[in-house]
Chains A and B, each alone.
Chain A
Amino acid sequence: MSTRDQILAKVRAALADVPADERPEDVAVPRDYQRSRAGTDIVDLLIDRLVDYKAVVHHTASAAVGAAGHADASGVADAVVARLLVARGGRIGAPVGVPEEWLEGVDAVRDDPVLPAAELDALDGVVTGCALAIAETGTIVLDGSPDQGRRALTLVPDHHLCVVRLDQIVRTVPEALARLDPSRPLTWISGPSATSDIELDRVEGVHGPRTLEVVII
C-alpha cells in the first residue's frame, strides 16, 4: 500500500465516528459575517490605511477630473505617473503592459525579454498597475497581468510605484477574493516589508521594496 493510501486509510479510520452518510456540505458553516459593509468613502479609507503602513500615496483622480473633464482625466493621470518617476530618477523596470505614457521621459526598461536577476537587482525602481486594492486593509493585489508582470519584477527592485484605478478599489477582503482568479499567481501587498523581530521594534523594509508608492488615478 502506498503512503498516500496508508494516510488516507488512517484518516478514514480516525473518522469512524463521522456518520457514513454525512457529506462535507452537511457540516454547517454559518456565514453571517459581513461580506460587504457601508461606511466611509472607500478612496479616503484606502488612502488612510496605506498611509498608516507608511506607503507614499498620491491621489490624482478627483483633481484631474475636476480640472480637465473626464475625457482628459486619464491623460493628466498618465502625466502624473511619468512626472513622479522622473522626479524619483534612476532606471525603472516596467512590465510589457504598462502604457507608454507612464514612461514619458523616464529611463525605463521593459521586462521583455525577461531581465536576468542581476539586472533586476540593479534597477532603481519598478512601475506597475494592479489587480485590485482593498480599502479596509490598505492592500494592493497583483495578479501577474501584462500591466503587472511576473512576480520577481515587483520584488527585487527597492522602489515600487503602483497605479490603482478607482474602479479597482473594493472595501472588504471578501469582495476582493470574489474578484480574484486563483489560477493566477497572486501577491498581496500591505505596506512595505517589515519586521518586528528585534525587540519588537518595527523596522520597515527587509527584503521587498523598501518604498511603496501608490498613485490613485
Chain B
Amino acid sequence: MTGARARGAGATGVSGTFVGMPAFPIASAKAVGDSQLRHNLHKATHTIRGKRAAVVGEQPDWTELRAAGAAIKNRVLRHLDVYLEQLEAAVVKAGGHVHWAADAAEANRIVTALVKATGETEVVKVKSMATQEIELNEALADAGITAYETDLAELIVQLGDDRPSHILVPAIHRNRAEIREIFQRSMSEWGRPAPADLADDPPALAEAARLHLRERFLAAKVGISGANFAVAETGTLVVLESEGNGRMCLTLPETLISVVGIEKLVPTWQDLEVFMQTLPRSSTGERMNPYTSMWTGAAEGQEFHLVLLDNGRTDVLADQVGRQALRCIRCSACLNVCPVYERAGGHAYGSVYPGPIGAILTPQLRGMSSELDESLPYASTLCGACYDVCPVEINIPEVLLDLRAKVAAAGGKGHRVERLAMAGARRVLESPGLLKAGQRAAGRFRRLTPRRLPGPLAGWTDTRDIPAPPPQSFREWWERNR
C-alpha cells in the first residue's frame, strides 16, 4: 500500500461526499448517543441475522458453496486483465458499448456525456453503491441532469436530503413517522405529491412511493444502474433486487447505462450457480430475492452502455493481503453481525461502504489519506464474526490487522490515530451504562447547542435533522464526566 498512500483522496478519490466527516471514534460516539438510530439498527441487524441463519442452515452444502465462491473470485482477481478483456468483447459482440473509467471524475464525465447525447435532462436510477461511490447524482446535477433514485429506501434518503446508513436498508436510521413527514414535505418538489391524508403504516408509505414513481418510470428515457455480477464469458450483467424498481429502470428506458466496478466479474455463466445461492441467503435472509434481471448487451433493442470503473480498485488489487476485499459481493452479512456497527451506525464509517467491509475497503480504496481512513481499521474488536458469515470467506480481521500495522508504521500521526481509535472503540462497546449516559448527555446539551456545528463537524450535522449532538465530542464529555 505504500504507493497508494501517496494518492490524495481528492485526485482519485472515493472522494468528497464525506469529506469533513469526523474520524470514526468521534462519529461513532455521536451515533451511540442517538437512540432512534441505535434502536433501528439493533432491530435491523438482529432481524436479518436471524433470517440469514435460518436459510443458511437449510442449505446442506453451504460450506462448499462458500469455498467455491471464494475460489471463483480469486480466479477472477488473479487474472482480472484476461477476464476484463473477455467481458468487453462479449458485451460488444452482443451490441453493447463498453467504456473504461480510471476514477470517479472520469466515470462521471462518461455518464454525463452519454446522458447529454440522448438530449434528456432526467434519468431514473436503481440503487448502486458504485454510483454512490463516485457521487454520480451530484455530477449529473452540476450538468443540469436530475437523477431520480427509485429504491424506496434511496427515495427516502434522497427526499430527506440524507445519506444511506446501511448497504441493504439504507434508511434504517429513519422511523415511519419521519418517513411520512419526509414524503409529505418533499414529494411535491420532485413530482407527484404524497396524499394529504398519508398514514404512517408501511403499506401506505409504500403505496405513496409506488404512485410517486410510476409516472416517472413510464416516461423515463434513460436508466442508470450498477450490477451485482458481470459474466466475462457471456457478457451478461446481473442485478438482484426486491422491489421491482430495478426491473423498471433496466427495462423501460430506451438507453441503459450501467456503472460497474472492475471487481464484479465472474468467469463463467455456470459460476452464477454459486452466487445466486449465496447472495440472497446472506443478504436479505431469503431463499431468493423477489426479482433478478439478467441481460446481455443490447437487450430488446435497448441502447446499452457499460462503464467499467477502477477508482482505486487496482490499488487494492496490488496488496496481497488486502486484495481479498475485492471478493466482496456486498451482501452486508458482516454488518449485521458486527457489534461495533450495531452500536455506531453506518454514518460513522464516513463512506458508502460501512461496517466491517467498509473498515477494510474504504482505507484501501482511498489510500488512507485522512485521519478517518486511518481510524477505520480500528473500528473492530477483531471478534471474527464477520469472517464467519462472509459468503466469500474474506478474512476481515486479517486485513484489519495488516492495515493497522501499516497505520502504525506510518509513524507519529498514525500512533495518535491508533490511540484515539482504540479508546473510542472500547467506549462504544461499554454498554449499556455508557450508552445511557450518552443519551443523558445529549439530552442535557440539546437546548444549548446550535443545530449546525462549526468546523469539521458541520458535515455531520448538515445531514441530520435529529437533535444536534453536544458541541464537545462524546469522548471529551466522557473524559470530564466519568
Give the interface of A toward B (CB within 8 A): 2-4, 6-8, 10-15, 17-18, 22-24, 27-35, 37, 49, 53, 117-118, 121, 134, 136-139, 144, 150-152, 155-156, 173-174, 177-178, 182-201, 203, 205-208
Contact = CB atoms under 8 A, between A and B. Distances in A.
Contacts of A3: 100-102, 106
A173 B318 contact: no
Nearest to A18: B78
Given A3-B102, A14-B318, A174-B273, A151 B78 contact: no
A206 B251 contact: no
A118 B218 CA distance: 7
A96 B179 CA distance: 43
B292 A33 contact: no
Contacts of B80: 11, 15
Given A144-B300, A155-B248, A27 B320 contact: no
25 contacts: A2-B100, A6-B102, A15-B79, A24-B83, A27-B74, A29-B271, A37-B60, A121-B218, A137-B287, A137-B288, A152-B252, A177-B272, A182-B294, A186-B293, A187-B247, A188-B288, A188-B293, A190-B287, A190-B290, A193-B244, A197-B169, A199-B175, A207-B243, A207-B244, A208-B243
Contact of B288 (A118, A151, A156, A190): A190
B18 interface: no
Interface in B165-211: 169-172, 175-176, 179, 202-203, 205-206, 209-210
A27 B71 contact: yes
B418 interface: no
A34 B202 contact: no
B206 A200 contact: no
Given A178-B270, A191-B290, A206 B43 contact: no
B269 A177 contact: yes
Contacts of A201: 202
A206 B152 contact: yes
B408 interface: no
A13 B4 CA distance: 13
Contacts of B252: 117, 152, 155
Interface in B242-258: 242-245, 247-248, 251-252
Interface residues of B, number: 94
B101 to A, nearest CB: 7
A189 to B, nearest CB: 6
Contacts of A13: 314, 318
Given A24-B82, A190-B287, 13 more contacts: A7-B100, A7-B308, A152-B252, A155-B252, A174-B270, A177-B269, A182-B234, A182-B294, A188-B294, A189-B290, A195-B206, A200-B43, A206-B206
B260 interface: no
A152 B300 CA distance: 10
Contact of B71 (A12, A28, A187): A28
Given A7-B308, A11-B80, A15-B81, A206 B210 contact: yes
B293 A187 contact: yes
Contacts of B245: 206-207
B243 A195 contact: yes
Contacts of A14: 314-315, 317-318
Nearest to A187: B293
Given A30-B64, A190-B289, A24 B72 contact: no
B126 to A, nearest CB: 10
A198 B296 CA distance: 33
Nearest to B86: A24
B75 interface: yes
Given A31-B68, A193-B242, A193-B290, A151 B274 contact: no
Contact of B317 (A11, A117, A184): A11
Contact of A207 (B217, B292, B296): B217
A134 B78 CA distance: 33
B273 A35 contact: yes
A192 B185 CA distance: 29
Nearest to A207: B244
By CB atoms of chain B within 10 A, which of A7, A49, A139 has the most?
Answer: A7
Nearest to A186: B294
Given A151-B247, A195-B242, A198-B206, A49 B287 contact: yes
Contacts of A177: 269-270, 272-273, 276
Contacts of A18: 78-79
B210 A183 contact: no
B81 A8 contact: yes
Contacts of A186: 292-295
Nearest to B102: A3
A24 B75 contact: yes
B44 A200 contact: yes
Nearest to A185: B299
Interface string B98-112: 001110001000000
Given A174-B273, A207-B247, A8 B85 contact: yes
Contact of B320 (A17, A139, A195, A208): A17
Given A191-B290, A193-B290, A207-B213, A11 B242 contact: no
Contacts of A183: 94, 234, 296
Contacts of A189: 290-291
A198 B81 contact: no
B290 A10 contact: no
A109 B202 CA distance: 34
Contacts of A7: 84, 100, 102, 262, 308, 310, 314
B333 to A, nearest CB: 15
A140 B262 CA distance: 30
B290 A29 contact: no
A200 B169 CA distance: 8
A146 to B, nearest CB: 14
A187 B292 contact: yes
A29 B79 CA distance: 14
Sorted nearest first, the 10 A-B pairs with minimum C-beta distance are A208-B244, A207-B244, A14-B318, A193-B244, A33-B64, A137-B288, A188-B292, A27-B75, A10-B314, A190-B288
Contacts of A178: 270, 273
